[in-house]
Amino acid sequence: MQGGSLDAATTVVQSVGGEVVRTLAVINAVGATLTESELAALDAVLGITVYANHGVESAGKPPKDSGGDSGDSGSSSSDNDGTYMNAMIEADRVHDLGIDGYGVTVAVIDSGLWKKSGTQYNAYQEHRILAQYDVIRDREENFYEQNSYTTDIDDASGHGTHVTSVLANSDHTFARGVAPSVDLVAVRALDGNGQGTYLDVIAAVDWVVAHQYDYNIKVLNMCLSAPPRSHYWEDPLNQAVMAAWQAGIVVVASAGNTGPVAQSIGVPGNVPYVITVGAVSNAYTTADSSDDFLASFSSVGPTYEGFVKPEVVAPGGHILGMMGWYTEIGENHPEYRVVYPYYSMSGTSQAAAITTGVVALMLQADPSLTPDDVKCRLMASARPAVEADGSLAYSVFQQGAGMVNAYDAARSTDTGCANLGTNIQLDLAGTQHY
pLDDT tens digits along 416-433:
999 999 999 999 999 999
Give catalytic residue positions. Answer: 110, 159, 349
Cis status, amide bond into 310, omega within 30 of 0:
yes
Q: Residue 247: left (phi > 0), alpha (psi -120 to 50), or beta?
A: alpha
> What's the mean pLDDT in 167-187?
94
Given a cut of 70, whether residue 129 has pLDDT beyond it is: yes
List beta partners, residue 196: 56
Checking if the pLDDT of 290 tops 50, the result is yes
Q: Are 351 and 313 in contact (CB under 8 A)?
A: yes
> Taking all residues of the chain, what is their mean pLDDT, rounded to a whole number?
90
Residue 19 CA to its chain's centroid (Å)? 31
Percent of the chain clearing pLDDT 70 (strictly above): 90
Question: What is the mean pLDDT of the segment spanning 261-290?
Answer: 88
Confidence band (pLDDT; 50, 70, 90) for 153? confident
Q: Residue 67 has what pLDDT? A: 46
pLDDT tens digit sequence for 82-106:
568 999 999 999 999 999 999 999 9
Residue 69 has pLDDT above 50, yes or no: no
CB 225 within 8 A of CB 238: no
Short-list 28, 375, 114, 58, CA closest to 219: 375
Q: Is the pLDDT of residue 243 over 70?
A: yes
Q: What is the spatial distance between Cα 396 and Cα 289, in angstroms, rounded to a whole number? A: 20
> With bands split at pLDDT 50, 70 and 90, how would you rate the model's confidence at 246?
very high
Whether residue 242 contacts residue 271, with contact meaning beta carbons closer than 8 Å, is answered with yes
DSSP string, 171-212: -SSSS--SSTT-EEEEEE-S-TTSEEEHHHHHHHHHHHHHTT
Tens digit of each residue's pLDDT (9 = 90 or more) over 247-270: 999 999 999 999 999 999 999 999
- Helix (H) / strand (E) containing 110: strand 105-110
- pLDDT value at residue 241: 98
pLDDT at 313 over 70: yes
Give the pLDDT score at 285.
65
How high is the pLDDT of residue 53? Answer: 96
Confidence of residue 143 (pLDDT cuts 50, 70, 90): low
pLDDT of amino acid 3:
66
How many residues are recorded in the chain?
434
> Position 144: which residue type?
Y
The residues that bridge with 345 in the sheet, in sequence order, are: 319
Does this model's pTM top 0.85? My answer is yes
pLDDT at 75 over 80: no
Comparing 11-15, 296-300, 362-366, which segment has the lowest mean pLDDT?
11-15
How large is the average pLDDT for residues 289-297?
Answer: 83
Question: 4-54, pLDDT tens digit by residue?
Answer: 688 888 999 999 999 999 999 999 999 999 999 999 998 888 788 899 999
> Which has the closest alpha carbon to 59: 295, 291, 219?
295
